Amino acid sequence: MTPREPSARALITGATGGIGAAFARALPEETAMILTGRDEEALTLLAAEFGPRAETVVADLATHEGLDAVARAAEAGEVDLLINNAGLGQYGNFLDVPFEEHQTTLRVNVEAVMALIHRLVPGMIDRAELSGRNAGLINVASSAAFFPIPTLATYAASKALVLSFTESFAAEMSGKPIDVLVSCPGAVKTAFGARAGYSGGRIPGAMAPEKVAAQSLAALGRQSTVVIGPASAAAFAPVALARSLFGHAFVRASRVMDRIGERT
């Protein structure tokens, strides 16, 4: 298969660290970038690595104003690669977490993803038809999309929606000049757990975000779904068995890690 041509300009959401920053560093040197996130200092530091080929948009995708600012920058920059990486979640039993925090998770993980696609992809396709090279879309979901995750119920459900939506959208875009991929990594060494309120530290066996970015970019244009990490086999196990085993295992692991965190 012919390798996918580098994009001219990419938009990366959630670029302040972790997988988002890894995507920025993994893109070819000829790719210009729009990096967006809430942390202005972190964005500025990351953009400095790339010089004039990177611009930043400080914005909160949970707000209409932030979402519009990002979309306007992408339209002005005529991006041809959209990487929806921003995501969040709150650790804890569903009823113990304020409902407003669940709403924020859904706005960022689901609504912002769909809104940016709906607004930006038509222009991306038009430009791709004129240029003769495919546009690209990567939605970062999670291996949690395949399982119920007690204490991360809303996060897991939101990623399940991203997985299902992206696979459906990829089928709708068949024949169009755009490559569509949903990336489903397992545990990754990022600050997600700490931000989510998980006190047990990093999950053993968590992979480097650079691995997720590299494998996702390599899969774009070759398949519509990529599962990265040790969860890949479990994701395709018989659904009922996998869900039951994974859900109970996660609860037990969470309790153990919480007890360890309390003692440190």
For residue 1, being part of any structural domain is answered with no
Whether residue 225 lies inside any domain: the answer is yes
Residue 244 has pLDDT above 60, yes or no: no
**Mean pLDDT value across residues 122-139:** 97
pLDDT, tens digit, 9 for 90 and up, residues 49-103: 999 999 999 999 999 999 999 999 999 999 999 999 999 999 999 999 999 999 9
Cβ atoms < 10 Å from Cβ of 13: 28
Please give the residue range of the domain that contains residue 212. Answer: 9-263
Q: SS3 breakdown of the chain: % helix, strand, coil, rounded to 5?
A: 55, 15, 30
Known catalytic residues are 155
Q: Is 3 domain-assigned?
A: no
**Residue 228 within a domain:** yes
- Tens digit of each residue's pLDDT (9 = 90 or more) over 158-168: 999 999 999 99
Is the residue at 2 inside a domain?
no
Count the domains in the chain.
Answer: 1
CA-to-CA separations, 43 to 113, 131, 160, 193, 203, in angstroms, rounded? 20, 30, 28, 20, 26
Whole-prediction pTM: 0.85
CATH number, domain at 179?
3.40.50.720
